[in-house]
A and B are shown apart, each in its own frame.
Chain A
Amino acid sequence: MTAVEETGNESAVLQEYRRALRTWLEKHAPGPVAGLSGEEYLRTAREFQAALHDAGYAGITWPREMGGQGLGQAEQQVFADEAAAYDLPLYPFMIGMGMCGPTVVDLGTAEQQRRYLPPLLRGEEIWCQLFSEPGAGSDVASLQTRAVRDGDRWVVNGQKVWTTNAQFADFGALLARTDPDRPKHAGLTMFVVDMHAPGVTVRPLKDMSGRAPFNEVYFDDVEIPAQDVLGEIGGGWAAAVTMLGHERVSIGGRQRARSNPLEFASLAELARRTGAGRDPVRRDRLAELYAHERALELLNVRMRQEAAAGRSPGARGSVAKLAGALQARRAIEVAGEIAGADAVAWDPGDERAAELALAINSAPASSIAGGTNEIQRSIIGERILGLPKEPQVDRDVPFRDLAVGTRRREGDR
Chain B
Amino acid sequence: MKLVLDAEQEDLRAAVRKFLADRAPSERVRAVMDGDPGHDPAVWTGLAGLGVLGLVVPEELGGAGAGHVDRSVVAEELGRALTPVPFLASAVLATDALLALDDDGARAELLPRLAAGELVGTVAVAEHGGEWDRTGGDTTAAERDGRWELTGVKTPVLAGDTADVVLVVARTPDGPGWFAVDAGAAGLARTRLTGLDPTRRVARLEFDGTPARRLATADAAAAVDLVADLAAVALAAEQAGLLQRAMELTVDHAKVRVQFGRPIGSYQAVKHGCADMYSAWELAVSVLRHAAWTADHDRAELPVAAALAQTYIGPAAFTTATGMIQYHGGIGYTWEHDAHLFYKRAKSAEQLLGPPSGHRARLADRIGV
Contacts and interface: CB of A to CB of B under 8 A. Distances in A.
Interface of A: 5-6, 8-9, 264, 268, 271-272, 277, 280, 283-284, 286-288, 290-292, 294-296, 298-299, 301-302, 305-306, 309, 316, 319, 322-323, 374, 376-378, 380-382, 384-391
Given A287-B363, A377-B271, A388 B265 contact: yes
Interface of B: 1-4, 251, 254-255, 262-263, 265-266, 268, 271-272, 274-276, 278-279, 282-287, 289-290, 293, 297-298, 308, 311-312, 357, 360-361, 363-364, 367-369
Contact of B286 (A9, A302, A309): A302
A70 to B, nearest CB: 23
B32 to A, nearest CB: 31
B282 A316 contact: yes
Given A288-B311, A378-B272, A389 B266 contact: yes
B278 A384 contact: yes
B319 to A, nearest CB: 13
A286 B268 contact: no
B23 to A, nearest CB: 29
Given A305-B2, A388-B255, A284 B360 contact: yes
A8 B4 CA distance: 13
Contacts of A319: 278-279, 282-283
Contacts of A296: 283
A105 B364 CA distance: 46
B298 to A, nearest CB: 8
Contact of A378 (B3, B275, B284, B285): B275
B312 A382 contact: no
B266 A290 contact: no
B274 A295 contact: no
A322 B274 CA distance: 14
Contacts of A298: 3, 283, 286-287, 289-290
Contacts of A376: 275
B229 to A, nearest CB: 15
6 contacts: A6-B1, A287-B364, A294-B308, A301-B1, A306-B4, A385-B251
B262 A299 contact: no
A302 B285 contact: yes
Contact of B255 (A6, A292, A294, A386): A386
Contact of A8 (B1, B262, B276, B367): B1
A306 B272 CA distance: 25
Contacts of B262: 388, 391
A268 B366 CA distance: 13
Contacts of A264: 367
Nearest to A264: B367
A290 B362 CA distance: 12
Contact of B3 (A277, A305, A382, A387): A305
Given A291-B311, A301-B286, A302-B285, A374 B360 contact: no
Contact of B254 (A277, A309, A387, A390): A387
Nearest to B309: A291
A271 B369 CA distance: 8
A391 B262 CA distance: 9
A287 B367 contact: yes
Contact of A287 (B1, B266, B282, B369): B369
B15 to A, nearest CB: 21
Contacts of B298: 8
Contacts of A284: 357, 360-361, 364
Nearest to A379: B275
A387 B369 contact: no
A81 to B, nearest CB: 10
A390 B286 contact: no
B278 A305 contact: no
A380 B278 contact: yes
B88 to A, nearest CB: 22
Most chain-A Cβ atoms within 10 A of its Cβ — which of B263, B265, B279, B293?
B279
A320 B367 CA distance: 24
B286 to A, nearest CB: 4
A291 B368 contact: no
A295 B364 contact: no
A323 B363 contact: no
Nearest to A299: B286
A77 B133 CA distance: 42
Contact of B275 (A6, A305, A381): A381
B22 to A, nearest CB: 26
Contacts of A382: 271
Contacts of B279: 319, 322-323, 380
A8 B312 CA distance: 24
Most chain-B Cβ atoms within 10 A of its Cβ — which of A8, A381, A391?
A381
A181 to B, nearest CB: 29
B312 A295 contact: yes
A253 to B, nearest CB: 13
B191 to A, nearest CB: 34
A387 B177 CA distance: 55
Contact of B271 (A306, A316, A378, A391): A378
A214 to B, nearest CB: 27
A217 B368 CA distance: 48
Contacts of B274: 380-381, 385, 387
